[in-house]
Amino acid sequence: MINISGFKAYDANEVAEMLCLKYRTVTRYIQAGRIRARKIGKKYYVTEEDIREFILAQETTAPPIRESDVPVSGPIRED
């Protein structure tokens, strides 16, 4: 990690660990433009903000839950 006056940037290995992805997947995402990064020397660095943007850009494939989908089983009892 690079930390200069509160500015934090993580290398691709650290990003992969944070997101539970493989290093190669992260580098492919960077090269495809899905994760914004800067290349310094031979390493890619991703800022906290760019990691946040990547996470927020992900969509779930699960349909939204509607109240009518939740089963009603009666009042909750405390024994």
Looking at residue 9, what is its pLDDT? 93
The Cα 7–Cα 31 span in angstroms is: 23
**Amino acid letter, residue 7:** F
Query: What mean pLDDT is reported for the chain?
Result: 86
Residue 8, pLDDT > 70, answer yes
Share of the chain above pLDDT 90, in %: 58
What's the pLDDT tens digit per position in 55-77? 999 877 777 777 666 666 666 66
Q: What is the pTM of this model?
A: 0.69
Higher pLDDT: 23 or 1? It is: 23
What architecture (CATH level 2) is domain 2-57? Orthogonal Bundle (1.10)
Distance CA 47, CA 8 (A): 6
Q: Locate the domains of the chain by residue range.
A: 2-57
The whole-number pLDDT of residue 5 equals 78
